[in-house]
Amino acid sequence: MASPEQWTEHYPTCGGSRQSPINIKTSTEADLPARALNSCRTFNLTQSDESFKGEDVFGDCSVSTNTATDGSASLVVVGLFLQAGDFKTDPWMVPVLDGMDIVTPEEWQTVKLTPYADLINTKVDANRVYNYPGSLTTPACDEIVDWWTNLKKLHLTDDGKNARPVQELNGRSVTSLK
């Protein structure tokens, strides 16, 4: 398995000029009217690849769609950064986290959520969003992503429920090497 530093040897696209993730530094400001269509069916909750002004971001919650009007390969990702700490979990995240307790690799689970668009509308700082052209963050690193994010973080309690619980050994041995 190749490390990210070796990806360009195996996947030349990973050496392109529009690669993601990035350290978000504002290079241009614009006042633009916003239009959106909510046809998203899934979202991802992951450790964030991004950083802002050199500071790593704990995680992000994003929704993506790959329907391009001209038929070309493209992906739009709209994300919110997550922050764990000594505060109450955002109400939108409660069913997401509860759903993680019942998901198995063998069976899909349906979790009733408030629409992601509602979350975006309540959490996004109306005065500033960030957009940049980028790529997928894993090989083949195709430069087809239109990234949209905001710096107002979605809060999660740091009560230990944000990490997977300790699992049984199930007969496995743990070896200490010196």
What is the tens place of the pLDDT at every residue in 160-178?
Answer: 655 555 566 677 766 665 5
Whether the per-residue pLDDT at 61 is higher than 70: the answer is yes
Q: Hey, how many other C-beta atoms are within 10 angstroms of the C-beta on 90?
A: 20
What pLDDT, on a 0 to 100 scale, did the predictor assign at position 12? 94
Which residue did the predictor score with more confidence, 35 or 132?
132
Q: Report the predicted TM-score, pTM, of the whole model to 2 decimal places.
A: 0.62
What pLDDT, on a 0 to 100 scale, did the predictor assign at position 42? 45
Boundaries of every domain in the chain: 4-24+38-157
Helix (H, G, I), strand (E, B) or coil at 54: coil
Q: Hey, how many other C-beta atoms are within 10 angstroms of the C-beta on 52?
A: 17
What pLDDT, on a 0 to 100 scale, did the predictor assign at position 85? 84
CATH classification of 4-24+38-157 is 3.10.200.10, yes or no?
yes
CA distances from 173 to 12, 170, 176 (A): 40, 9, 10
CA distances from 11 to 2, 5, 87, 172 (A): 10, 11, 42, 36
CA distance 71 to 120: 27
**What is the identity of the amino acid at 122?**
T
Q: Where are the alpha helices (DSSP H) in the chain?
A: 7-10, 93-100, 116-123
pLDDT digits (tens, 9 = 90+) for 85-116: 888 888 888 887 787 777 777 777 777 777 77
Confirm if 75 and 64 have CB atoms less than 8 A apart: yes
What pLDDT, on a 0 to 100 scale, did the predictor assign at position 31? 55
Residues contacting 135, CB < 8 A, separation 6+: 13, 14, 16, 18, 19, 20, 141, 142, 143, 144, 145
